[in-house]
Structure 1
Amino acid sequence: MTESFPVRRPSGCPFDPAPEYAGYRRSEAPAKVSTPAGVDAYVISRYDDVRTLLRDSRLSSRLAPSDHVVPDADLDREVESGSILQVDGAAHKRLRRMLATEFAVKRMEALRPRVAAMVDERIDALLAAGGPVDLVQEFALPIPSLVICELLGVPYADRDEFQERSAQLVRVDGWTEDLQRASDDLNQYIVGLVLAKQAQPEDDILSRLITRGAELGTPLTLEELVTLGISLLIAGHETTANMIALSTLALLRNPAQLDLIRTDPAKVPGAVEELLRYLSVVHFGLFRYVTDELTIGSSTIDRGDYLIAALSSANRDESVFGDPDRLDLERDAAAHVAFGFGPHQCIGQQLARLELQEVFTRLFARIPTLRLAVPFEEIGYRENTLVYGVTALPVTWDAPI
């Protein structure tokens, strides 16, 4: 039987993945679903299967990760040169090698004092304004935006423009004139930025990519640089911003867990891994194309079929994570697949970890009485975007005496 996809998170339980995934994991054969893109696909729901398949060279990433949930998506369109999310093989290795140095652990750790200062500046602004405020607009979005702007050499004064455009581009309602306009506007903006960096390189990622390509004898084209710039700009703030806001809500709903990191900041890095596992904000999974026959459980998947690697389901797999539906900040969750797995695993994951660690080391320590300013039931969620989160998070706190 072919079921409809995407499956939806349960009403009243916004932190949990769709209940259908638990049934999928119990079945020996992967579930076959009908997608808004107009094709059938197999949902890969178990942890071990997801990890195995995401590193299998017989799966192609030539489709955008969200194509399966975009109505009537053009699955045969040509992949853009420089799309690190979609190119495979040698082309992907070349791009990833260019970027690897920029997101290495050592370089990210060197950024920690600067990121910590940015977080403190935003907390200062919250305290100066007084509650209630929307934590999404006043805190969760500005922090990763500040960081990625600084890294890419994007003037922070332009943040409102790219935030608006990128928020539109991660929607999965279908391609519209508004989305096309947003795509064209963002592309035009990044073209201008790249041309400026080519004319006068500075101390930023785009400038170093231009220089590094020339030094290696494989210079990146304008199209590649623009596509990489757009990808990094969107990915660099959308996922982290949503994780900051949704994690804050999850912690406020679990005060005993929150107290663990408020009283012992040394537990924050482990807590971040558990929040990544528990929330899995890439909630529709990753779309892949099968280039050669493969076997999953008792099923043979043919060349030309489509797969959906359900990250949120893998991160709730009972065979790997005990009592997986419970938020446990003392759990060893480092093996989660929230960042994907295999050659296309998120290249910016160390930056995301750094930002989340600094946020949750500081936010509740400096505003210990932070709480929701509206009933929990009134919080709205981003159901129709590639990255799950809250639409707004009204919070308040007690004024210092």
Structure 2
Amino acid sequence: MGYITDEQPLNYPIDNPTVLEPPTEWAELRQKCPVARVKLASGDEASLVTRYEDVKNVLADPRFTRPSAANEGARVSEDESGGVFNSEMATVLPQSGEGHRQWRRLLNRYFTAKRMAALRPRIEAMADQLIDGMLEQGHPADLKAGLAFPLPVWVICSILGVPDSDRDKFAYWSDTLLSMTRYTREEIGKAQAEFGAYLAGHVAAKRAEPGDDLLSELITYTDAEGQPLSDAILVATGQGLLVAGHETTANMIAKMMAMLLSDRSRWERLLEDRSLIRSATEEALRLDVNAGFGMLRYIDADFEVGDTVVPAGTTVVCSMAAANRDENAFERADEMDLARTPNPHLSFGAGAHSCLGQALARTELQVVLDVLLRRLPSLELAVPADELRRVEGLLVGGLRELPVAW
């Protein structure tokens, strides 16, 4: 077929046949062309890896770094002014080496599974409050707008010690920073400047009057030379937390619920056995076909992937979503098994750059599922699953809305 030949690269990202089904190309690429030439929206070419072991190895190998202007890695789109890749935070925060490892160690002190579990009652209260609002307005309702989108913003604002009154600002800034097409360059630049200025003022306020939040805790830390973290590092950390933790989790909440409600026997099983909430959440993460672009990595030396030598100077796109459906890694890989365990999916990456907020994301997903089962046991899709629509113009994939009734 044309897309697995050397003559014609495959346009990437690959479209899904429906919002909940994977591209048919994934299986064929894993079988016949595990390292495929792809063309990105920018016109740049990259190498796409789709097998579980290959994706895991690339993500975990320290020789791979993130693409940047310095290493001439491929660009995702022609204008990335609003994307994560060229944002100010990417230039302030160390992206590799000991500096990156130290920064992650500082953040890991906060984002432990134990500490995120301690946040659970607060997250439950937020979810209950949002569901109260949905019930007051009645159904049909948009579960994404009513619950999935605002909840992660509320949680991040709480972690950063941001007043409840500023939640809407954070939601807008997050939407803008992750957009590739929905906002103009001027709108994106203005939002970045506003967000940076807000966080700079917020950091100054926390230095003057610390509270019980992440930034106040980071202010007390010192770097390898014994110096306190700079305001720039603290501001970029706040930006990174919002960008990495809002849209991804908001979209995943909606996608998880769409998966579970598209075959209502799954929902009924969870109603009967709440002990499956944890494993069902992991399975939804594994089966997410709209996980987004994937993870970009750059290599400045020849590297062997399977039977293929990836030449120096190549940008590699790691499709975790395709890898998560590899039959060599998961039995009945295309089936949703709510009790699947173990479930070593790659949805949060692997190695030094794996998602440091994964304990928080898991807690939010589990809380949402638990609260919805308790509050809205009769929940169902208000439209057929094949009428659900994808959101366009974001670096992370998701649904435009999730119409539900109860």
Is the TM value for this pair above 0.5?
yes
Deviation of 1:371 (Å): 2.0
Q: Does 1:44 align with 2:54?
A: no
Instruction: Give secondary structure in 2 for the equivalent of 1:33.
Output: strand
- Equivalence for 1:151: 159
Structure 2 Cα separation of the partners of residues 104 and 45 of structure 1: 30
Tell me how far apart the structure 2 counterparts of residues 186 and 160 of structure 1 sit (CA, whole Å). 12
Alignment match of 1:71 (pick from 75, 78, 96): 78
User: The residue matched to 2:370 in structure 1 has which SS?
Assistant: helix
Residue of structure 2 equivalent to 1:310: 319
SS at match of 2:397: coil
Once residues 28 and 405 of structure 2 are traced to their aligned partners in structure 1, the CA distance between those partners, rounded to angstroms, is: 40
Paired residue for 1:19, among 16, 24, 29?
24
Matching residue of 1:5: 11
2:3 aligned partner:
none
CA contact (8 A) 1:17 1:283 kept: no
**Partner residue in 1 for 2:127:** 119
Q: Structure 1 pair 72/164, CA: closer, same or farther in 2 (3 Å)?
A: closer
Letter in 2 for 1:6: Y
Which residue number corresponds to residue 57 of structure 1?
A: 62
* 2:138 aligned with 1:133: no
Question: How far does the alpha carbon of each residue in 1:127-184 deviate from its partner, in whole angstroms, 9 at most, with x for none?
Answer: 2332122211111122212111111111121111121121122123397222222222
* Cα distance in structure 2, aligned partners of 1:379 and 1:275: 17
Q: Which residue of 2 aligns with 1:182?
A: 191
Q: 1:62, 1:377 → 2: CA distance?
A: 36
- 3-state SS of the aligned residue for 1:295? strand
Q: Which residue of 1 aligns with 2:93?
A: 83
How far apart, CA to CA, are the structure 2 residues paired with 1:47 and 1:214?
A: 36
**What amino acid does structure 2 have at the position aligned with 1:335?**
P
Task: Assess, with a 3 A threshold, how the Cα gap between structure 1 residues 364 and 251 changes in structure 2: closer, same or farther.
Answer: same
* CA separation of 1:391 and 1:377: change in aligned 2, threshold 3 A: same
Contact 2:287 2:336 in 1 (8 A): yes
Q: What is aligned with 2:366?
A: 357
Closer, same or farther in 2 for the Cα pair 1:101/1:333, shift >3 Å?
same
Q: Is the 8 A contact 2:46 2:74 kept in 1?
A: no
Residues 1-400 of structure 1 aligned to structure 2 (within 5 Å): 1=6, 2-11=8-17, 13-27=18-32, 30-63=35-68, 68-71=75-78, 73=80, 80-83=90-93, 87-173=95-181, 176-213=185-222, 217-279=226-288, 281-332=290-341, 334-397=343-406
Q: Given the superposition, is the C-alpha separation of residues 351 and 80 from structure 1 closer, same or farther in structure 2, using an over 3 Å criterion? A: closer
Contact in 2 for aligned 1:63/1:288 (Cα 8 Å): no
Deviation string, structure 1 residues 2-46 (Cα, Å, up to 9, x no partner): 4233233333x2123322221211125510112123321110110
Q: Distance in 2 between matches of 1:112 and 1:390?
A: 25
Which secondary structure does the structure 1 equivalent of 2:54 belong to?
Answer: helix
CA contact (8 A) 2:131 2:146 kept: no
TM-score normalised per structure 2: 0.90
- After superposing the two structures, state which structure 1 stretch, 317-326 or 207-216, moved more: 207-216
Q: What fraction of aligned residue pairs are identical, expressed as a percent?
A: 38
SS at match of 1:226: helix
Under a length normalisation based on structure 1, what TM-score does the superposition of the two structures give?
0.91
Q: By how many angstroms is 1:78 displaced?
A: 8.8
Look up the SS of the partner of 1:150 in the other structure.
helix
- Give 1:286 shift: 0.6
Determine if contact 2:65/2:297 at 8 Å carries over to the other structure: yes
CA distance in 1, matches of 2:146, 2:157: 17
- Partner Cα distance (2:355, 2:405) in 1: 34
Q: Deviations over 1:338-397 (max 9, x none)?
A: 001111100010111111111111203321221233344443212431211111122222
Q: Secondary structure at the match of 2:93?
A: coil
Q: Find the aligned partners of 1:150 and 1:381 in 2 and give their Cα distance.
A: 29
Counterparts of 2:293 and 2:22, CA distance in 1:
10
Task: Single out whichever of 269-278 and 206-215 deviates more from structure 2.
Answer: 206-215
Q: Distance in 2 between matches of 1:166 and 1:36?
A: 22
- Give 1:77 shift: 9.4
Shift of 1:63: 4.0
Distance 2:320 2:75 in 1: 15
Q: Which runs of 5+ in 1 are unaligned?
A: none
State how far apart, in whole Å, the 2-side matches of 1:207 and 1:215 are: 19
- CA shift for structure 1 position 278: 0.5
Quote the Cα distance in structure 2 between the aligned partners of 1:40 and 1:60: 17
The residue type paired with residue 93 of structure 2 is: S
How far apart, CA to CA, are the structure 2 residues paired with 1:89 and 1:155? Answer: 35
Contact 1:35-1:68 within 8 A present in 2 as well: yes
- Measured in 1, the distance between the counterparts of 2:55 and 2:28 equals 16
How far apart, in 1, do the equivalents of 2:315 and 2:298 lie? 5
Amino acid at match of 2:276: K
Cα contact 1:3–1:33 (8 A) shared by 2:
yes
Counterpart residue type for residue 117 of structure 1: A
Structure-2 change in CA distance of 1:376 and 1:67 (3 Å): farther
Query: Do 1:282 and 1:387's aligned partners in 2 also have CA atoms closer than 8 Å?
Result: yes
**Residues 28/129 of structure 1: CA separation in 2 closer, same or farther (3 Å cut):** closer
- What amino acid does structure 2 have at the position aligned with 1:319? N
Residue identity opposite 1:83 in structure 2: L
Alignment check: 8 A CA contact 2:80 2:180 kept: no
CA separation of 1:67/1:28 partners in 2, compared to 1, >3 Å: closer, same or farther?
closer
SS at match of 1:42: strand
- What displacement does 1:60 show? 0.3
Q: CA deviation at 1:213?
A: 2.5
